Amino acid sequence: MTGNVSNVSNEINKSDNKSLLTGVLLIVLGIIAIALPAISTIFAEAWVAVILASAGFAKLFYAYNTRNEGGLVWKVLLGVLYIATGVMLLIYPSTGILTLTLLLGSFLLTEGVFELILAFRLRPQQNWTWVLGDGIITLILGAMIWFQWPFNAPWLIGTLLGVSILFTGVSRVMLSWNGGSGFNKPDQAAGTA
């Protein structure tokens, strides 16, 4: 029975080591993305372009496979629209970056308004001010993007992407340290058997 516990413990430790290494790699990539925001912004814009074009080809494939079910023209037009948008973003990356930044600002402004509405609807409940604070901060971020556009476009998306990757890496590292610590102690592992 003790052999099974040590095998499970070894497997978890191997998994934790992979998770830890992945977390460290994400932290390094996040720091690079923050340090080089223009390059990471272009990378993010190109990634969106490739996703849109790929989705367009998938939609065309779906249209072909369901051609007898009706709506073929609309399905094909939608697929072509996706492909055209992806290709345009690849050909004109600066326009794509400007557009994506403006869309992000619009999204945050809209989300901030909805969060404020939700906060006032939750007002009788305890801790409703957290939703209010979230709405206010989101609204301020959206307004900052809008009022500084187009000057913030070259660095904004790359910086936000870098921050997101950095915090994902940190959380991965913290989870792998936390998850593996309980299995490194033999008496705890033997006690669960």
Q: Give every CB contact of residue 163 below 8 A, 6+ residues apart in sequence.
A: 30, 34
Q: Where are the alpha helices (DSSP H) in the chain?
A: 2-35, 37-65, 72-91, 93-121, 128-148, 153-181, 186-191
pLDDT band at 12 (very low <50, low <70, confident <90, very high): very low
pLDDT tens per residue, range 25-60: 989 998 998 899 889 889 888 998 999 999 999 999
**Average pLDDT of span 51-80:** 90
Measured from the Cβ of residue 6, the count of other Cβ atoms closer than 10 Å reads 14
**Cβ-based neighbours of 74, under 8 Å, separated by 6 or more:** none
Half-sphere exposure of 41 (CA within 13 A, CB side): 23
pLDDT of 1: 52
Longest dimension (CA), the chain: 67
pLDDT in tens, 119-157: 888 887 877 888 888 888 888 888 888 888 878 788 888
Q: Please give the pLDDT value at position 104.
A: 84
User: For residue 87, is pLDDT > 50?
Assistant: yes
- Cα–Cα distance between 160 and 134 in angstroms, integer? 17
Peptide bond into 150 cis (omega under 30): yes
Q: How confident is the model at residue 181 (pLDDT cuts 50, 70, 90)?
A: very low
Q: What pLDDT is stored for residue 190 in this prediction?
A: 46
